[in-house]
Amino acid sequence: MSSDGIGASDESGLRSYVRHLPHWRVPGSVYFVTWRLHPRQQLLSSDERSVVVEVVRHFAGERFELYAYVVMDDHVHVIARPTADHALESIVYSWKSYTAYRLQREHGRTGALWQDEYFDRIVRDEDEFWEKCQYILNNPRKRWPESGRYAWVWVFTGDGHGDPSHHDPGSPDRPSYAVSRLDYELPPELIAQQPLRGRTESRLLHIEVVSGAITDRRFTELPELLPPDTLIVLNDSRVVPARVYGRRPVGELGQGGGRVEVLFHRWLGDGVCEAVIGSGAGQPAGERVLLPGGWRCELLEPKALDGLRVRYLDAAGEPASFEALTRYLEEHGLPPTPPYIKRSADSPDTAARLAEDHQRYQTVYAERDGSVAAPTAGLHFDEAMLGVLGERGHSLRRVTLHVGLGTFAPVRVDDLAQHDMHEEAYSVEAQFTEEYSRRRANGEPVLAVGTTSLRVLHTLAGSEGAATTGMTRAFIYPGRGTSACELLLTNFHLPRSTLLALVYAFGGEQLLRRAYRHAIAERYRFYSYGDCMLIDRRAPLQ
């Protein structure tokens, strides 16, 4: 197995040293580590266990790859792999010494906190790796079988690939996860401002979770990277040209008249919709925005950051019907590209860029109106690629999830456990639900094209008899993962976003951090018009 995989990678480097216990070292190996509280110390409180978790996680991704841990009231288990320039003994020493320092300073502990020695074992292969993960997850369950979810345990995938603590999408129980872990630095020139000439010309970063391999490829290689007869799930929601620019009325004293952006989100009935208003000033309820074609938009609530209810009025001053509003937006609306795609009104090529956005900020298989952002993983496919995939024996199926304003909403909390996940409408055919359930039960390969398709599959997989049409708040992040499928095609996502949290949960935080660092170093193109990655977490054939 490669040095990025699970297990001892180079037994020629085997060495050992002995204090009271033997310690074996093989470069590139994963270790199961245990250390215990000193027998003269009182058991760790909940707050003290949280300090230990914080210290254990602090240098993850820098000095070691962290795969799992549990902090009990009298001992700690960790699964980790040291990086090439950090020794396991120095990492364990820092864990033990700094937790002792913190608990002495913050909780009044005195004397030796931990027993002097610790135990470590080389994890030899995938079977042993998952067995140790299961052991860690079961540790608190055996001690406190009636306690429910335990807050100080974590396994890196957080999904059905190795984490039986997975919770269904609707569960109110959310583990803590610091939003700061979703930060990364991206050079602004790597944010793609326009699509490539051909849809399939993008690069593809191939990530194999079990081995840890990261490989630079092209999107055109996708058919060869998929296992035979893969069920490929596409989101066929169509992006509505939802953005219209208008102006505030001019008052008697000449005030007002400023430019206002109105971004349609969702139809509620009788001309009333959810929308986001963009302008340089506050706007009260009752104010009307003058739109092109003699239409108006009346604010039914004061302008708010995450949207409000408005009423669209046609040229006759009557509430618009859904059909009339749809025709109006098709004639006057602009593609709702995200704010990081810059379209300056003063630029001479803006008209050409907007015309290109109308065509390219839309998948070739889009069919059902309803999204205010594109399911961007699907932008890489053209009709020829869809044909090749079908010819290779793969099964292409469609689901619908209308991407809503939550895509633009930043995470405004410090812990994802407190994040209010947005709600989005989805629909699937009953025949697809039956096929997907059968394939999933048989362990057949399923590829979700994009995070939106994955959220639909997660909703279907998380509940027996899930509705074929409804609303979903599926929220996937590390510690609250998904076993809906084992293959995900997705673009590169913004820092501090729920989409980045989703891919961390799907492929493992430390591996995905490394993948993002690699993509930045290799000058991949990021975000909606950028390149993509294929995350494959299938277990290897035995």
- Report the share of the chain in percent with pLDDT over 70: 87
Q: Which of 166-175, 405-414, 525-534 has the highest mean pLDDT?
A: 525-534
Determine contact, residues 520/190, Cβ cutoff 8 Å. Answer: yes
| pLDDT, mean of residues 313-319 | 96
Evaluate whether residue 72 is within a structural domain.
yes
Co-location of 104 and 146 in the same domain:
yes
Residue 541 has pLDDT above 60, yes or no: no
Query: Is residue 386 pLDDT above 50, yes or no?
Result: yes
Residues 175-203: what's their mean pLDDT?
Answer: 94
Q: Is the pLDDT of residue 208 over 70?
A: yes
Hey, what are 507's tokens?
């492929």
Structural tokens at position 433: 């639900």
What pLDDT sits at residue 422?
85
Residue 144 confidence (pLDDT) above 60: yes
Tell me the average pLDDT across 519-523.
98
Q: How many domains does the chain have?
A: 3
What pLDDT does 1 receive? 28
Asked if residue 225 and residue 85 are part of one domain, the reply reads: no
Residue 284: predicted pLDDT? 87
Q: State the pTM of this model.
A: 0.69
Give me the mean pLDDT over the 168-173 stretch.
38
In a domain, 377, yes or no: yes
Tens of pLDDT, residues 391-439: 999 999 999 999 987 766 778 899 998 898 888 999 999 999 999 999 9
As a whole number, mean pLDDT of residues 87-100 equals 92
Report the DSSP pairing between strands 288-290 and 272-278.
unpaired
- Regarding whether 511 and 477 lie in a shared domain, the answer is yes
Q: Is residue 250 part of a domain?
A: yes
Q: Is residue 22 a part of any domain in this protein?
A: yes
Q: What's the confidence (pLDDT) of residue 291?
A: 96
Q: Say if residue 23's pLDDT is above 90.
A: no
Domain match, 385 and 279 both: no
Answer whether residue 157 shows pLDDT above 50. Answer: no
Which residue is listed with tokens 């869809």?
A: 386
The average confidence (pLDDT) of the chain is 87
pLDDT of amino acid 262: 95
Quote the CA–CA distance of 190 and 307 in Å, as a whole number.
30
Does residue 173 have a pLDDT over 70?
no
Judgement on whether residues 380 and 310 belong to the same structural domain of the protein = no
- On the question of pLDDT at 345 being above 90, the answer is no
Is residue 418 assigned to a domain? yes
**Does one domain contain both 302 and 409?**
no
Over residues 474-493, the pLDDT tens digits come to: 999 987 888 899 999 999 99
Q: Does the structure show a pLDDT above 80 at 169?
A: no
Same domain as 217, residue 140: no
| 404 and 434 co-located in one domain | yes
Task: Give me the percent of the chain exceeding a pLDDT of 90.
Answer: 57
Per-residue confidence (pLDDT) for residue 2, from 0 to 100: 32
> CA 113 to CA 43: how far, in whole Å?
10
The predicted model gives 460-485 an average pLDDT of 83
Give the pLDDT score at 542.
Answer: 36
Q: How many CB atoms are closer than 10 A to CB 9?
A: 17
Q: What is the CATH number of the domain that holds 324?
A: 2.40.10
Same domain, 504 and 368: yes
In this prediction, residue 273 carries a pLDDT of 94
pLDDT tens string 250-294: 764 445 678 899 999 989 998 999 999 987 677 889 999 999 999
Determine phi and psi for 462, rounding to 5 degrees.
Answer: -85, -5
Residue 183 within a domain:
no
Helices (H), 416-531: 430-441, 451-461, 498-507, 509-521
Say which CATH number the domain at 43 has. 3.30.70.1290
Answer with the residue of higher pLDDT: 51 or 200: 200
Rg of the Cα trace of the chain?
Answer: 26
Place of tokens 């596409």: 234
Structure tokens at 40: 């003269």
Using the 3D structure, point to which of 332, 350, 380 is the last residue of a domain.
332
CA dist., res. 379 & res. 375, Å (int): 7
Domain shared by 136 and 95, yes or no: yes
Give the model's confidence band at 21: pLDDT under 50 very low, under 70 low, under 90 confident, else very high: low
Q: How confident is the model at residue 8 (pLDDT cuts 50, 70, 90)?
A: low
64-71 and 272-278 strand pairing? unpaired
Alpha-carbon torsion 541, 125, 52, 140, what sign? positive
Q: How big, in percent rounded to 5, are the helix, strand and coil portions of the chain?
A: 30, 25, 45
Find the domain containing 308 and state its range: 243-332
Q: Which residue has the higher pLDDT, 165 or 418?
A: 418
Whether 412 and 474 map to the same domain: the answer is yes
Strand 368-371 vs strand 237-239: parallel, antiparallel, or unpaired?
Answer: parallel
Is residue 496 situated within a structural domain? yes
Mark whether 323 and 416 lie in a shared domain: no
**Top-confidence range, 49-53, 170-174, 225-229, 538-542:** 225-229
pLDDT (mean) for 34-49 = 92
How many C-beta atoms lie closer than 10 Å to residue 284's C-beta? 9
Q: Does residue 69 lie within any of the structural domains?
A: yes
CATH of the domain at 214: 3.40.1780.10
**Distance (Å, rounded) from C-alpha 378 to C-alpha 364?**
8
